[in-house]
Amino acid sequence: MIRTKLSLLCFLFLLAACGGNDTPATEPPVTPPEEPVNPPGEDEDTNLNANPADEARPYVTDLCIPRLNEANQYVEHTVSYREQEILNYALEWVEDKRHAAWVAFSFDSETSQKNVNRTDEWLPDPFIPTSPQESDHKSDGFDKGHLCASDDRSYNRTANEQTFYYTNISPQMTSFNGGYWVTFEKLVQTWARSGTYDKLYVTKGGTTDDLLTNFTGTQHAADGRTPQTDANGLTRHGLACPHYYFMAILAQKGEDYQAIGFLVEHRDDYGYDNDRQAPASVIPTHALSIDELEEKTGLDFFCNMPDEVEDAIENAYEEQVWDWNIPEANSVSQKK
């Protein structure tokens, strides 16, 4: 009984000692949630449209690679160069058009070098079972026009040979290929080899969703035929013939980036040819922002950049920050 009274007194004493605290003893204090350092959508590294990393496709997150269309076949062509494996170029193959949606690659201090001559090793693409063959380009009135140009990949013999895969070839009108489009290629190669930039990321292609339909050309190709397409925009051998060709260029110097796009109609009446190529002065007339190029092509370029940076560089382009001169040594006629 005494022990019970003592226990009761101790309990009352402890209760009195805690009487000034209105918070129940069993309820932990509430800590207000911390504000995130970078609220959603405001992180400078946020990237909502990037290609997911994939061990089977190790270069899919490279800055030159557009957002992939999983309905198409994505291929990476690599080479062993100076004891390392590097991306030579990648492409996305549109099976029902028998034409690439785009090709993508980059220039740096190594891959911009001119170490080998043109190889002319025309071959089916070993990674595309349904790759076009030589017979698909025979007697059709078109040139075999490179997307990734032979002179874009002259740092290594294997790299140059890969540009002659038929999946990298597009049916182009002779005067367009050797007289007009070639000038755009030479300017980009000049930028790549000028030392102005640390790296130049390039995506090129033809508009596979906008083909040249019911076309009959006026100029003969080397095979003696005039180019023709049917109501579906296909050549005699069933290859898609783009209505436009495009380039998306991203230049990097340190942490600074600038971008520009080009969209050129596929025509045979520009008035130039292999012997008299278009001057560099025509190029700015075909320039546009990356946003505008994306709208016209349906592609999402440079998707692997942080969204904040991507939005800033794609919104507009500044003509005055680019050098529009092509050195005479780089403007001589070249076989395509």
pLDDT at 9 over 80: no
Q: For residue 140, what are its two tokens? A: 């059709």
The answer for residues whose C-beta is within 8 angstroms of residue 94's C-beta and 6 or more apart is 72, 100, 101, 208, 240
| Res. 45 pLDDT band, cuts 50 70 90 | confident
Q: Scanning the structure block, which residue is given the tokens 């005055």?
A: 320
**How many domains does the chain fold into?**
1
Q: Buried b / exposed e across 21-57, counting CB within 10 Å, b at 16+?
A: eeeeeeeeeeeeeeeeeeeeeeeeeebeebbeeeeeb
> For residue 44, what pLDDT is reported?
60
Instruction: Give CA–CA dist 144/235, Å, rounded.
Output: 12
- Please indicate, yes or no, if residue 17 is contained in any of the structural domains: no
- Please indicate, yes or no, if residue 29 is contained in any of the structural domains: no
pLDDT at 69 over 90: yes
> For residue 327, what pLDDT is reported?
85
> For residue 330, what pLDDT is reported?
52
Mean pLDDT of 211-234: 96
Q: What angle do CA 144, 146, 147 make, to 5 degrees?
A: 135
| Res. 164 pLDDT band, cuts 50 70 90 | very high
pLDDT at 7 over 60: no
- Please indicate, yes or no, if residue 45 is contained in any of the structural domains: no
pLDDT in tens, 82-95: 999 999 999 999 99
Q: Scanning the structure block, which residue is given the tokens 């201090």?
A: 109
Top pLDDT among 180 and 14 is at: 180
Instruction: Give CA–CA dist 98/109, Å, rounded.
Output: 34
- Please indicate, yes or no, if residue 97 is contained in any of the structural domains: yes
What CATH number corresponds to the domain at position 168? Answer: 3.40.570.10
Q: For residue 28, what are its two tokens? A: 């932990």
> For residue 288, what pLDDT is reported?
98
> For residue 81, what pLDDT is reported?
96
Q: Give me the active site residues, please.
A: 146
- Please indicate, yes or no, if residue 272 is contained in any of the structural domains: yes
> For residue 161, what pLDDT is reported?
98
CA dihedral 214, 277, 219, 169 (to 10 degrees): -50
| Res. 32 pLDDT band, cuts 50 70 90 | very low
> For residue 16, what pLDDT is reported?
45
Q: Chain-wide mean pLDDT for the chain?
A: 89
Domain range spanning residue 246? 63-330
Q: What angle do CA 263, 264, 266 make, to 5 degrees?
A: 140
Range with the poorest average pLDDT among 48-52, 181-185, 326-330: 326-330
Instruction: Give CA–CA dist 49/5, Å, rounded.
Output: 73
> For residue 46, what pLDDT is reported?
86
Nearest to 230 by CA among 243, 212, 242: 212
- Please indicate, yes or no, if residue 308 is contained in any of the structural domains: yes
Q: Is 117 annotated as a binding residue?
A: no
- Please indicate, yes or no, if residue 170 is contained in any of the structural domains: yes
Cβ atoms of 288 and 318 within 8 Å: the answer is: no
> For residue 10, what pLDDT is reported?
44
| Res. 43 pLDDT band, cuts 50 70 90 | low
- Please indicate, yes or no, if residue 311 is contained in any of the structural domains: yes
> For residue 336, what pLDDT is reported?
44
Top pLDDT among 41 and 185 is at: 185
> For residue 11, what pLDDT is reported?
45
Q: What is the pTM of this model?
A: 0.85
